Structure 1
Amino acid sequence: MRILGMDSATGACSVALWRDGAIVARRFAAMDRGQSEIMVPMVQEVMAEAGVGFQDLDGLGVTIGPGAFTGLRIGLAAARGLALASGLPLVGVTTFEAVGHGIPPEERLGRAVVVAVESRREDIFIQSFDNDMKLADQPRSIRPDAFAVPDCPTLIAGDAAVRLRMALEARGLQDAAGLRFAAGPGLPDAADVAALVAERGFASAADGPPRPFYLRPPDVTLPAAKPR
């Protein structure tokens, strides 16, 4: 099976190709702006490096959020365009799932996982998983200072983990028993998107193109329609 994964939901842009259990080509760049200029070239480079065409792929995967409004739209638009042109199924993966999947199994061994994603406002987005990365609760928006320390060994990951740690330090809770913070930067990676799609299959593609997943309205104002 061959899956092309794409991500531009947060502070990075990445593309990766998963083939028969391994990532065979990948591009990753940390960036807050400019994803629209490099997403398609990244796709072309990854496909060329892997030596495949779209006719050789089984499907596509893309992050659907939560994340930055513009980045999400860029990734989804590119993925939908490729799916439409190629006829390939397209599956969406949440930012929480992609970040959680990227944590090495040995780092989360015996621990629940909380993924914290930046909103670039006062709040952050969080979702919890058990130690097998099964969903443990619904995603939600909270203020960092309102985070309740779990009563079980827990690993906190994601690009908002730093802000969450600062809030815990202000309350003297950063060293609470069983609480740890993941070592990585906490950004989603297209490699994990592709691997998750390969694991789950394409059944959800029958429901139509994936839509952006927001936990609150996007932080933009669209232009008003011109009077006729």
Structure 2
Amino acid sequence: MADEKIDFQALEITFGQQLLMHPNPSDKTMVFSCTLIGCLADESLIVGPPSQGVFPALEEGQKVVIRVFLDSGVALFPTTVLYISDIPALMIYLDFPSVIQFKRLRAAKRVVVAQPVLVSNVDNKSIVGVAGKLLDVSTGGGRVKMFDDLGEVGDHIVIKGKFQVHGISRLLTVDACIRKKDGKEYGVQFVEQDEDKLIFLMGFIFNAMLTGTVDAIH
């Protein structure tokens, strides 16, 4: 993993990209999702609130920090709220970033964790709340070790766990599919479609990638 200074164009992100906004840069626990909806090159980025969930009250001139999770790494840049429009919908114009801090993930994007989970099999209703641990994880899936049988390759499962990112804890249920079975260890692929869940899950994964550890679960 390496730190780089890059420009915005190098990120190659498209409209609709999910971003994380820290409205108070000194408080990493305060984070909100938003969506990139427009761009005026070298002038401003335009973001909007998520389709569901809460969004902070902002003021023109307010300093914020934007974080972007990509398959290749994590981008971070400070910016300023230039203008807020609520017609025809809420849009926040941010100062165009001149330099972006980027942590590139050069090695395998799989990190070792020890996250307690409960897993249920959607296709086999008799398998409910099986205890185990998420052993390693990547943006696409992970490996779980269970204390009892979880099902067969191809089964649809739901993984439930208490995940923490920068002091924020959230109980998540994540849809997944069994792709590999080796005794009581299973390779799983995430198939979750809920944007809010995915954003928090990606935050957990990238936090683990960046630090090499996972925040303690209380």
More strand per residue: 2
Q: Which has the larger radius of gyration?
A: 2
The reply to whether TM is greater than 0.5 is no
More helix per residue: 1
Q: TM-score, normalised by structure 1?
A: 0.31
Q: TM-score, normalised by structure 2?
A: 0.32
